[in-house]
A and B are shown apart, each in its own frame.
Chain A
Amino acid sequence: MTVITPPETATLAAATASRSTAFWRLKGFPLIPVTILLFIAFVAVFADVLAPYDPQIGSLARRFKPPVWQEGGSWAYLLGTDHVGRDVLSRLIFGARVSMIVGLTAVLVAGVIGTLLGILSGYLGGWADQVVMRVTDTWLALPALTFAIFLAAIVGPSELNIILILGLVYWTRYARVIRGEVLSLKQREFVRLAIVAGCSKRVIMWRHILPNVINSAIVLATLMLGVVIVTEASLSFLGVGVPPPKPAWGLMMADGKKGLMVGYWWLTVFPGICIMLMVLSANLLGDWLRVKLDPQLRQL
């Protein structure tokens, strides 16, 4: 890797500019994973323009067409068609949108709940701490997927419900880590000085604690993105996630599973590769961020 260029000191603008270029040259920057994630995000945003067909409408006349390079495939359907004749490529493209929306919002929901409760619990201590931590311990004992299935069985499947369920299942991961950080921040000079200066608890938590735990929250969020996407895909695969006929990758695999034994491999392999690439990329980026931004989280 190239050496990091020292920031120019002439102007502030120049300094920030060169710092941002230096950022890309940092040792071990996960260029490929980030490119993949950006590509999936791009596809998700422009799905309407990119997809050659409607992802939800097929025609039985052209079902189970193999990918273009296999015998019987055609250029019209690059990656083949599924059991009701829908274009696999178009469904993958729109599936990227589902994964991105569900993944990012669920991580955000879990992050906001977990970070806020973690700060409250760590800073206030006493009863609030006991309650939050006992609930955290208990919910962490429930296997995440089982808990999510249980909740999905109660509220029924929809995209919004899946986001809420994932937020509810995964906030505990943030709460525990953030609380630990807050406990050590509480002992630091600047917080004590703020107390002496007469800042209210709310101001201290909002102005002094929150900015200092945001880094950890971001690292956790990146690491959670992969986990959340796998859980969403698993829920959809089991039929309690994103309801059909929406094109979610997990759902596509569940549909494709029936055709696997007779050789319709493209129905499961392509969405599988998409999930794999997205999750691997998110995890690699998260690992890198963890080491770079937050050495304290290294053993996480």
Chain B
Amino acid sequence: MKQYIIRRAGYSLLSLFLLSLTIFLFVRVTGDPIALLTEPGASQDDIEAMRHQFGLDQPLWMQYWHFVASFLTGDLGQSFYYRTPVLDLYFQRLPNSLLLAAVAMALSLLIGIPSGILAAVRVDRFWDSAGKIFALLGLSLPQFWVGLVLILVFSVYLGWLPSSGSGTFLHLLMPAFTLGWYFAAAHMRMTRSSMLEVLGSEYVKLARLKGLPESLVIGKHALKNALIPVITLAGINLVVMINVAVVVETVFAWPGIGRLLYEGVTFRDFPVVQAVVVIGGSMIILVNFLVDILYALIDPRIRLES
């Protein structure tokens, strides 16, 4: 087990290294980094000073070393637009993203798990087909389209919900649904396939042979095991949700990480863009690592393999 954890940790560290290298090289190699790292409209003298300050006159490997070192010490640079450290901005916005992700996750599980079970129990019947259409739409519809249609219906025509901003629970509903639909589809598919697998297993057959009512077989015996992969997926997706909400947060003007990224791009505030990408990638690498370890703890076959 220890060996397995060490190897997994090694892979994750390698991934983090490659992530930093990717970001670093894309910034330095494509075009002129100074154009990205200095404020738009800086004078020639300023640019020279900045070139020196960022160490762009040094060899590439030295630059990379400084880049990593400053990230590791939590120095993600200064935002051009807000004139505050990027990390402060990030943590300022993070709670909003977490809130949105949590509500979206709750919605996606509330929709995804029951409909997944229903689809598995009634394969190829009405609910299964309805679920498939729901999932297909969730996975295909662009989020800004869903978001704008919701605004049109619930804010413009019905006037029930506020179209943008934050503050009350009502503000959360539309963005959370827009973000959650895609994931509800994924959770539904996972529940369905996992449930189908469990329903074919020996112990479920035994429970049926014992004459237990179908509701108990499904609700108690099958569900417990069928939900394990769904919960794992949901755990990963919660982290993913924090990092992919850029479109949703832009449509609804929700002040989270995604909105920060959008502002970074619009205001040509490159340090912000870079920070959001690096932190997001690191978060996902980290959660993948944790899930690998968790799986190995639950299932010894995984750690003995490879």
Contact = CB atoms under 8 A, between A and B. Distances in A.
Interface of A: 134-135, 137-139, 141-143, 145-147, 149-156, 226, 230, 233-234, 237-240, 250, 253, 257, 260-261, 263, 265, 268-269, 272, 275-276, 279-280, 283-284, 299
B244 interface: yes
Looking at chain A's contact residues, the main secondary structure is helix
A143 B140 contact: no
B155 interface: yes
A237 B144 contact: yes
A134 B266 contact: no
B265 interface: yes
Nearest to B262: A238
A28 to B, nearest CB: 13
Contacts of A263: 156
B243 A276 contact: no
Contact of A143 (B145, B244, B288): B244
Contacts of A280: 136-137, 140-141
B14 A150 contact: no
A241 B223 CA distance: 44
B284 A154 contact: no
Given A142-B19, A152-B265, A239-B265, A257 B270 contact: no
B152 A260 contact: yes
B288 A141 contact: yes
B79 to A, nearest CB: 14
Contact of B276 (A146, A257, A275): A146
Interface stretch (B50-58, B106-114, B165-173, B246-254): B246-254
B63 to A, nearest CB: 16
B67 to A, nearest CB: 15
6 contacts: A137-B15, A138-B15, A141-B281, A150-B277, A153-B270, A154-B36
A261 B155 contact: yes
Given A141-B19, A279-B142, 12 more contacts: A134-B11, A142-B280, A142-B284, A230-B142, A233-B142, A237-B247, A238-B247, A260-B148, A260-B151, A268-B152, A275-B145, A280-B140
B261 interface: yes
B244 A146 contact: yes
Nearest to A150: B277
A233 B147 CA distance: 14
Contacts of B27: 154
B22 interface: yes
